[in-house]
Structure 1
Amino acid sequence: MVRLFNHWLRWRSLAQMLFDFSFVTIGLLVAVLWIGNTFPADRQQILVFSALLGVAMLVVNSLLGFYQRYIKRSILQSSALAVVSIYLAIPLAYGIYAIMPMTGVDKDFMQLSALSAVFGMLVARVGSNHTAVSGILTRRILVFGTGAAALQVQQALEKSDPSAMILGFFPCPNEEQVSVPRNMVIASQQSLADTARTLRADEIVVAISERRGGAMPLRELLDCKLQGIRVLDLASHFEQTLGQIRLDSLYAGWLIFGDGFRQGRVRTALKRLFDLFFASLLIVLALPIMAVTAAFIAAENGFPLLYRQERVGLNGRLFKVIKFRSMRRDAEKDGKPVWAAAQDDRVTRVGRIIRKLRIDELPQLFSVLKGDMSLVGPRPERPYFVDQLTKEIPFYAVRHSVKPGVSGWAQVRYHYGATVEDSANKLQYDLYYIKNNSLFLDMVVLFETVGVVLTGKGAH
């Protein structure tokens, strides 16, 4: 794992991006300068064209989810995404060529070379996404503990990180119950440090629930760290591996004395400028869509077109959130707040479509301009549910330390849900965002939001 602008990324993802960029740029250069060496081409122009096309394809592949944290998809699904990427590459290549036309190079030959390079890159990308991880990128992990916490580590790694290899589970003397596979429990008489060296471990995850009574071999863990082996507690492990801060491994001291959770004036000012610029741009681009949506809502279910509701914002301040109305006018005729369900019969036909495409959220861009919301942040909740969730979920109030967002890390990482348990799971992602928030993470969320809209994932 590598930390880039406060956000944890996998080496595998960075390597994939570097490979794809290099494949496109070098493939195009070779085609034009070697196969087409009869053309009096300007090498500097070709280099700039290749680099621009490589960057454009990185953006397209990112929007389509090729570089996201490990997602299980079939080879057919990956191939379908590759076809979409090819279709998007064609106008991109022609557009870049139109902006900076090549002198001395045949246009058709240039376009054919560009698309051939893109096609080769996508074939390689689909293939690598469905092959075993090479030994260079494999993380060799030794887990200290054999109980329920250790089992959670194993399950999380198997689900989310194909580059992780669990070497075994080193037993803790204070743990009586063994929850992990017994054939993976290390029965060696060696110390933890010696075992880590023998197994050539890159990382040790401390996964024990009881730390008192000498359960933690602090001296040996320090020796491992001094020898270059990374040592992580449960909270840090889940933060880096899953992009969430697990509530079951969290304690107040970790939040207080750990890094992150910084909301300085510079960060606040930059985020506000970011919000104003992109919200204004999105409003201009979305005006035709909003006009058509308003017409369809009026035609199906009459007025009002917009839905205003009180939500809890920064520091617990109340504000009115604005959305396109997607439910019947009498959705809460008894006045009692009700969780929105996945298949809610109160949703109109137009409402079902605009929810799936997230069009109902577009009027919230005006709340961003006003300053009540941000483009990226935890989704604002109703006061009735906030009071309920604050009592039932620890650290829930922490999410009000930043402005609520039109989209958020929890929305792009977790499926749609409307229960207390779903709220607790989403909070784990919200805590990760609040701890590591940066403009880079905001851009990552916006990119993945586009992917969610394109695929309809999590929308109801």
Structure 2
Amino acid sequence: MSYIRLNKHYIHQHFVVLGVVETCLLIGVAWFAEHLQLLLLNAAPVWSINFSDWIPLFIFAVVLSCCTLSMGVYIALVREGYASMMLRTLVSFFLLGSLSLYCVNLALGDEFIDRGLVFWGVLVATLVVFAVRALFIGLVDTANLRRRVIIYGAGKKAEALLTELDTANTKLGVQVVGCIADAGDEIAVNSALLRAVPQNWVAFVKREQISEIVIAPDERRSQSAGEGLPVGEFLDCKVAGVGSTDVLGFCERELNRIDVNMLQPSWLLFSDGFKNSKRHLFIKRAFDLCVSVLFLLVLWPFMLLTALAVKLESAGPALYSQERVGLNGRVFRIYKFRSMRQDAEQAGKAVWAQKNDSRVTRVGNFIRNTRLDELPQLYNVIVGEMSFVGPRPERPQFVAQLAKEIPFYDVRHKVKPGLMGWAQLKYPYGASVEDAKNKLTYDLYYAKNKSFFMDMLILVQTVEIILLGKGVR
């Protein structure tokens, strides 16, 4: 398989290997930069093997690796192209990396990581990772490194899966070899993809070098008796090393979302996930409190300046509040800096925010793009109404409408809402029922697979959203 599952979150092995290789290379780069600086200063290099001397080098490598992750460099590498990757790398290394290393020196003592090491290390590291990633993108484009899957099913469900994969423009190591129609399917996929039902499944998967069978028939007849599906043949393939995956699980793993259109209540009940352990809740709450207080201590000057700017531009209070739906459907008040005119909603009627919304003021547009308008919600996190990471809370009026039109919408309220979420990373700003439905697929994925590791992943990747101003209306 080309993925691993770490704390309930799926990560492709290609990226894991690339990340490990780059981190090791960054340690070597830091060592090289340290000695290069000594040579430039006409000083003799120190060939030390003391562990304490290597700690700054390890920290240098870890910081740059985290900055790489926060800017979504690996995803951009395979989905947006080499040029986009280069741009993100320059931002992650020269801006985020240098700033982060400066903060490390502030925290651990001046010159803990030598300034010369930072300068030469970042410069050499950029050139090295460009070369490594050029090699990587050449390798993942080769067909023999991609997993070959066969879809059992050729109806609407199989067609929907193919559309999802095509829309996502996924190059994460998956190649659909074809579709094998089930007896109950009404053919909906492209005829060029159709494959005859194998007489010998084991021989077929070996001949075609199949890695996985995705089960996606439109109708599951007599499932308990094993009729309607070639269960015996699938078991033979499993014994031979080729496993089977249901279509919903496949979408979850490859697309990091749970398709609402394919979702069944039984899958929610019996699938792994949707659990809240006491340990996880304790760690999450402790993290929320610590980070919220830290952010308040660091960001209060920006909050003060934001409040003054809002008051100076337009009449009305700097802060405003709205009712939102939180954990288990409980309604609470959320706080924000005002980014719209005071009369933005006539008679208190809830209105979807639109692209280039005329109700947004000039200051409001800036604080929305920089997410400064969300800072007062640190209060909601401190009092326990929200978390740092979770589905964004929606207004009661919209929730009542969406719950009627979108199946399983209330499941997102089984976890505490957050300042930032998986859906905000993966989908642009939602301003319609269809947008809410698409975002729900990511909220369900988070609710099912939530973990401290995934929260950290969302936290660092949100840096990209803020820096690039994505998903704002």
TM-score (norm 1): 0.91
Is this contact kept in 1: 2:76–2:84, CA < 8 A?
no
SS in structure 1 opposite 2:303? helix
SS in structure 2 opposite 1:43? coil
One-letter code aligned to 2:12: R
Query: 2:112 pairs with 85, 100, 117, which one?
Result: 100
Query: 1:10 pairs with 1, 9, 12, which one?
Result: 12
Query: 2:47 pairs with 41, 45, 56, which one?
Result: 41
Distance 1:336 1:11, change over 3 A: same
2:123 is the alignment partner of 1:123: no
Is this contact kept in 1: 2:334–2:380, CA < 8 A?
yes
Query: 1:325 pairs with 305, 329, 338, which one?
Result: 338
SS in structure 1 opposite 2:458? helix
Matches within 5 A, 1:19-98: 19-29=21-31, 39-44=45-50, 45-68=52-75, 72-88=79-95, 89-90=97-98, 98=110
Distance 2:113 2:357 in 1: 53
Shift of 1:395: 0.7
RMSD, aligned CA: 2.5
Distance 1:112 1:390, change over 3 A: closer
Shift of 1:126: 4.8
2:231 is the alignment partner of 1:229: no
Count of aligned pairs: 454
Shift of 1:152: 2.9
Is this contact kept in 2: 1:11–1:137, CA < 8 A?
no
The answer for the alignment partner of 1:245 in structure 2 is 258
Shift of 1:278: 1.1
Shift of 1:333: 2.0
2:440 is the alignment partner of 1:434: no
Query: 1:166 pairs with 171, 176, 187, which one?
Result: 176
The answer for the alignment partner of 2:185 in structure 1 is 175
Is this contact kept in 1: 2:64–2:93, CA < 8 A?
no
Among all aligned residue pairs of Structure 1 and Structure 2, give the percentage whose two residues are the same amino acid: 36
One-letter code aligned to 2:156: A
One-letter code aligned to 1:155: T
Is this contact kept in 2: 1:414–1:458, CA < 8 A?
yes
2:203 is the alignment partner of 1:194: yes
Distance 2:32 2:313 in 1: 57
One-letter code aligned to 2:179: F
SS in structure 2 opposite 1:445? helix
Is this contact kept in 1: 2:425–2:458, CA < 8 A?
yes
Query: 1:449 pairs with 455, 462, 470, which one?
Result: 462
The answer for the alignment partner of 2:193 in structure 1 is 184
One-letter code aligned to 1:171: A
Shift of 1:221: 1.6
Is this contact kept in 2: 1:12–1:137, CA < 8 A?
no
The answer for the alignment partner of 1:154 in structure 2 is 162
Distance 1:419 1:112 in 2: 47
Query: 1:141 pairs with 129, 132, 149, which one?
Result: 149
Distance 2:218 2:10 in 1: 25
2:436 is the alignment partner of 1:423: yes
Distance 1:345 1:199, change over 3 A: same
Distance 1:197 1:3 in 2: 26
Is this contact kept in 1: 2:320–2:337, CA < 8 A?
yes
SS in structure 1 opposite 2:138? coil
Identify unmatched segments of 5+ residues in structure 2.
none
SS in structure 1 opposite 2:176? strand
Is this contact kept in 2: 1:379–1:405, CA < 8 A?
yes
The answer for the alignment partner of 1:281 in structure 2 is 294
Shift of 1:142: 1.4
One-letter code aligned to 1:185: L
Distance 1:367 1:129, change over 3 A: farther
Query: 1:368 pairs with 354, 366, 381, which one?
Result: 381
